[in-house]
A = this chain, B = another copy of it.
Amino acid sequence: MYPTPDSSPRPWIEIPADSDFTLQNFPFGIFETGTLGARAATAIGDFVVDLAAMQELRYFDDLHLPRGIFEQPYLNDFIALGPATWRAVRKRLIALFSTDGPGALRNYPDSQDEVLHPHSEVRMRMPVYVRDYTDFYSSEEHATNVGTMFRGKENALMPNWKHLPVAYHGRASSIVVSGTPVRRPWGQLKPGDGDPVHAPSRLLDFELEMGAIIGQGNALGEPIPTAQAEDHIFGLLLFNDWSARDIQKWEYVPLGPFLGKNFASSVSPWIVTLDALAPFRVPGPKQDPPVLPYLRAEGDRNFDIQLEVAIEVPGYPEQVVCRSNHRYLYWSLAQQIAHHASGGCNLQVGDLLASGTISGPTPDSYGSMLELSWRGSKPLSMPDGSERRFLQDGDVVIMRAFAAKEGLRVGFGEVRTEILPALEG
């Protein structure tokens, strides 16, 4: 099925043992430097690889890519070339960085200088222009936790939850890349029985999610069967769906979240392909009751991707507050996509479908402060002696994701975000 450690190709470039960017990975992103404009990249070990320079140096000539396809501010046009092209480029990259591949890049230090940039010397940008953004709610543990807090244990899951992957449309324009600070939003808060006030959110939270980037769309009116659904995915990224719990609580009936969510969401700069993640496929949780036929999907549709969230208080070492896993998701990507298009909604290249908060079964695997502090009742202790019920100004939230087994490792890098104080009133 996939290369085992013994038969795996080996890279000629040194890759640190804990690197997310191995010969199995080759994710896609967009970077710029002080002198180079926005362009497409992949990553290996400690280096960002300039794909525009590689095309210029004719490493992709026989792949017949359009001129300048990598010299653009977003990956969308490259993605629109289709799965055969993404696969051919990744395969070529694996070959060029393998000791037993063609020596073209390995034997030309001048080319290497032009192509390889240390991560620290580039600025990563938003990898895609997100056309439409949908947020699912696909972790049973998360939905149960939130439901238990707000409606009690007996009514934790809504009656529809196990019949369809609940989702809502989110705001595409305010999605930002890792490294972009996020400002605490103002909003209407409703304190107890009092009148609503307009004030900065007091209950700012992260949500640990993964997002899928759509690589192939469907025409308006034409559903996508589960069996073909994954063909529509370009890859996955790490996603922090910021939430202002107090704003959301007052505004969300009856039409769902709005200002409680749309001030920002943060993504990892790297999109990892499903091919790179293939060795890490696992079955999802058993679905009971059985789902309707249009949601049935065969095969291993989840991924064993380890997730963690850390909070860094400036001046102190970061503290991991959550360890979760993509495998916990009740609804698979194939089911999300099939459901999304089942009424005819047209998905398009660059759409982002986020998973919803991914919580696991144990309290240290909950993917939000709301759950970790159980609505503020169990504050977390921080290295500086302070406590956290929700996020404070100056906190840096770091999310990481990687899959690893038998010497293979494929990671997403991180989403790192500093919380700025609210604007003055």
Q: Is A170 an interface residue (CB 8 A)?
A: yes
Tell me how far the C-beta of A76 lies from the nearest C-beta in chain B, rounded to whole angstroms.
Answer: 13
The answer to whether B342 touches A187 (Cβ under 8 A) is: yes
Q: Is A255 within 8 A of B198, CB to CB?
A: no
In the assembled complex, which residues on chain B have CB atoms less than 8 Å from the CB atom of A419?
A: none
Q: Is the CB of A264 within 8 A of B188?
A: no
From A103-111, A246-254, A309-317, A406-414, the one touching the partner chain is: A246-254
**Is the interface on chain A under 10, 10 to 19, 20 to 34, or 35 or more residues?**
35 or more
Residues of chain B within 8 A of A251, CB atoms compared? 160, 164, 166
Residues of B within 8 A of A229 (CB): none
Copy count, this protein chain: 2
Contact yes or no, A247 B132, CB < 8 A: no
Q: Which one of B176, B254, B264, B351 contacts A252 once the chains associate, using CB atoms below 8 Å?
A: B254
| A294 and B171 form a contact (CB under 8 A) | no
Asked whether A257 is an interface residue with its Cβ less than 8 Å from the other chain, the reply is: yes
**Chain B residues with CB below 8 A from A186, complex form:** 223, 294, 342-344
* Chain B contacts for A294, CB-based, 8 A: 186, 198
B169 touches A168 (CB 8 A): yes
A146 nearest CB neighbor, chain B only: B254
Contacting residue for A253 out of B158, B198, B247, B351, CB 8 A: B158
A183 at the interface (CB under 8 A from B): yes
The residue among A159, A173, A190, A264 with the most chain B CB atoms within 10 A of its own CB is A173
Q: Which of A196, A221, A347 has the most CB of B within 10 A?
A: A221
Which B residues touch A343, using CB under 8 A? Answer: 185-187, 244, 247, 259, 262-263
Determine the chain B residues whose CB is within 8 A of the CB of A220 once the complex forms: 173-174, 176, 264
A131 to B339, CA, bound (A): 23
A176 contacts which chain B residues (CB < 8 A)?
220
Q: Which residues from B are CB-within-8-Å of A254?
A: 158, 166, 252, 256
Residue of B with least CB distance to A261: B169
Seen from chain A, the residues whose Cβ lies within 8 Å of a Cβ on chain B are 131-132, 135, 137, 158-160, 163-164, 166-174, 176, 183, 185-188, 190, 196-198, 220-221, 223, 244, 247, 250-259, 262-264, 292-294, 339-340, 342-348, 351, 423
